Structure 1
Amino acid sequence: MPKISVIVPVYNVENYIEKCIESILSQTYTDFELLLINDGSSDKSGSICDAYVNKDERIRVFHKKNEGVSIARNLGIKRSLGEWICFVDSDDWVENLYLEKFVENKELDEDTMVSQGIMYDFISSSDENFPFFIYPDKICAEEEFADLFTKYNLLHNGCPVSKLYNKNLLVKKSIYFNPSISTHEDHLFVLTYLLYCKKIILSSSIPYHYMIRNELSLSTKYHTSEELIEVSRLLIEKIIQCKSKYHFSQDCFNRAISAFGLRQLLVAARNSHQNNYHDVFADLRDRKELFLNHFVAKNLTNSLFLVLLFNNVPDCFLYRLIRLQRNLKKLL
């Protein structure tokens, strides 16, 4: 029984998967298994994974039809044998201390999460790499979480990678990725796990390299208004639950609810179309109190739109403004 199960969802990454696998096999900590979940790749990714099975007995490969990253990760959780679970994305790579830094602290109880920093690694760009989410070496009990969330923006770190989760807690509390949404499903997973934590261990290590390429990223993909409204509802619900349990500062709550709940509604409005904009605007008006009491506006455009929305400007006029804004962005 390995101590750690490393789960890697794989989909059409033939140019990157070998570097990812090699980086995991090069770990200084060796008591792990590597689960490669091939999510119906149409390129050579699946055969590359199969070739590695013969090179290292710690590797297991699962081939399935393409159903998305959430179902692939969930399959990895269910098939894992380790006491602890971590994730690596198949087009990223990790330094050789990635796993060791997770377990070097001996205070790993079932209701614990360990979180390390992440390095943003730019490809084909003049931008320099920079660390994303930097933490000190710190062990925090539940009564310290409020200060922790405020000081280190933990609610904003929705990346499932560079964290260690307890397998038994995941299964016992049925914590899995939501396959019905394709954005922020990872953030919902992390927030749900946090609701059951009694200890958080932070590490100053930054061994995870999150690769930023010129290709279309998930964050720029189009999502329907209906999906974004559902995502907003789920995120707001989780953040309110975290606030109720851990009693962190109002400023921390406002920033989190704005960034990961209310802004999804604004994107939903921007993505609305002729047949659904009335319903979308109605959903925003239903959240009026949250907007008025907690929204932290980042630009004048959003502020102006909300003023018009909440002052009963006709929907048809608001929709024309949104279309004009979209057209101007295309021109620019």
Structure 2
Amino acid sequence: MLFSVIIPAYNCEETIENTVDSIAESGIIDYEILIIDDGSTDKTGSICDSLSQKMPSVRCIHQINAGVSAARNCGIENSQGEYILFFDADDSLDSNSLCNAVSTVEIERPDMLIFGMRFDYYHREHIYRRDSLIPPLAGAICVDKVIHNFNEFYESNSLSSVCNKIFSRASIVKANASFDEDMILMEDFMFSLKVLPCCSDIYCLQEPIYHYRQSEDEKKTYRRLCSINDLPDYLLPFSRQIELLGVSDSDKFMENLYKMLLEQRLYYASYEDICNVMTQHRNSIYAGVDIEYSPFVIYLRNKKSQLRHRIAIIVKSIISRMSRS
């Protein structure tokens, strides 16, 4: 078997069938779809069982709720394909969109294939905005090219997600890689960092193949960040892995990553919470990272930004619906 598609599924009864259908119609060949039902409390489990009965390529494994990383690890352990793709249960592909990727894998046999992503932003089930990100380089490259252009690959989302990649099983086994089940944020990025050094041949397709459904829950990342008690400490494994890769100016990269996450952590925070987080920042190893404003100004600027963002979403959503009518 050439391909295994692994889908962690938790309470996704409204989207999982469309996701599976889109994969089946994407042009993929010689494949299996493994759905890992991660202890869903809605009808997801029964829908997945029904799909496995209707479609010979689909297998469903039920497990006690353990999180997305545990579900993906279960999928890796039970998969049979020579190449592995990871999929979220609410995302999709266009018809025949994987044809080029499939033929590239058949001909080039890369250790990792990276393609682009399209981000669909929804408001009340209507798409009001679409953005695309593609790899900064095209064609066959070596891992040194990725390391040399590390910032560009990260900023184009080419490293931070596993859903825009096809991994060879051999590279995963060689790296002894699995998803860290204790991580609550950026576990995809860590997995890619683990596998990357074991990839001799990498191939990049500058096509936005994967359609990522941007969550309407804007506070999802914020809540995850709130559950991280010590952000600098949380980032230490990433810093070590990036240093092992030999990324030039890795300290600067980590400072930029820390600042981005810190700003996200502060975005929905109360004034008191901002003060507490900023105190922690000043006592951390990243104390030298400049935060331009005082806690009170940060609070006011965030509230203004949130209001403008909500208004923009409503306006774009109305315009989008009017253009379709």
**TM-score, L = length of structure 2:** 0.78
1:260 to 237, 257, 260: 257
Superposition deviation, residue 283 in structure 1 = 7.3
Superposition deviation, residue 71 in structure 1 = 0.3
Q: Pairwise mapping of residues 61-210 of structure 1 onto structure 2 (< 5 A)?
A: 61-105=60-104, 106-109=107-110, 112-124=111-123, 127-135=128-136, 137-153=138-154, 157-210=159-212
Give the aligned partner of residue 231 of structure 1: 234
Give the aligned partner of residue 313 of structure 1: none
Q: 1: CA distance between counterparts of 2:270 and 2:129? A: 36
Give the aligned partner of residue 16 of structure 1: 15
Matched, 1:52 2:41: no
Q: 1:142 to 1:273 in 2, by over 3 A?
A: same
Q: Secondary structure of the residue that 1:22 maps to in structure 2?
A: helix
Q: 1:127 to 1:155 in 2, by over 3 A?
A: closer
Q: 1: CA distance between counterparts of 2:217 and 2:302? A: 23
Contact 2:117–2:134, Cα closer than 8 Å, also in 1: yes
Contact 1:10–1:90, Cα closer than 8 Å, also in 2: yes
Equivalent position amino acid for 2:131 in 1: F
Deviations 1:271-291 (A, max 9, x none): 7999xx999956763514xx5
Give the aligned partner of residue 43 of structure 1: 42
Q: 1: CA distance between counterparts of 2:199 and 2:174? A: 13
Q: Secondary structure of the residue that 2:235 maps to in structure 1?
A: helix
Give the aligned partner of residue 311 of structure 1: none
Give the aligned partner of residue 309 of structure 1: none
Q: 1:138 to 1:147 in 2, by over 3 A?
A: farther
Gaps of 5+ in 2: 308-325
Contact 1:184–1:231, Cα closer than 8 Å, also in 2: no
Deviations 1:154-211 (A, max 9, x none): 6853111010111122123221111112111111111222232222211022121101
Q: 1:79 to 1:272 in 2, by over 3 A?
A: farther
Q: 1:150 to 1:96 in 2, by over 3 A?
A: same
Equivalent position amino acid for 1:139 in 2: A
Q: 2: CA distance between counterparts of 1:324 and 1:217? A: 17
Q: 1: CA distance between counterparts of 2:80 and 2:221? A: 32
Equivalent position amino acid for 2:108 in 1: E
Q: 1: CA distance between counterparts of 2:296 and 2:244? A: 33
Equivalent position amino acid for 2:254 in 1: I
Superposition deviation, residue 115 in structure 1 = 0.6
Q: 1:216 to 1:12 in 2, by over 3 A?
A: farther
Equivalent position amino acid for 1:184 in 2: M
Equivalent position amino acid for 1:287 in 2: I
Equivalent position amino acid for 2:7 in 1: V
Equivalent position amino acid for 2:238 in 1: L
Q: 1: CA distance between counterparts of 2:112 and 2:175? A: 14
Q: 1:273 to 1:168 in 2, by over 3 A?
A: farther
Equivalent position amino acid for 2:134 in 1: F
Deviations 1:132-167 (A, max 9, x none): 235553211234334443554468531110101111
Equivalent position amino acid for 1:174 in 2: N
Q: Secondary structure of the residue that 1:116 maps to in structure 2?
A: strand
Superposition deviation, residue 113 in structure 1 = 1.3
Q: Secondary structure of the residue that 1:54 maps to in structure 2?
A: helix
Superposition deviation, residue 237 in structure 1 = 1.9
Q: 1: CA distance between counterparts of 2:251 and 2:298? A: 33
Contact 1:13–1:90, Cα closer than 8 Å, also in 2: yes
Q: 2: CA distance between counterparts of 1:273 and 1:224? A: 18
User: Matched residues, percent identical?
Assistant: 25
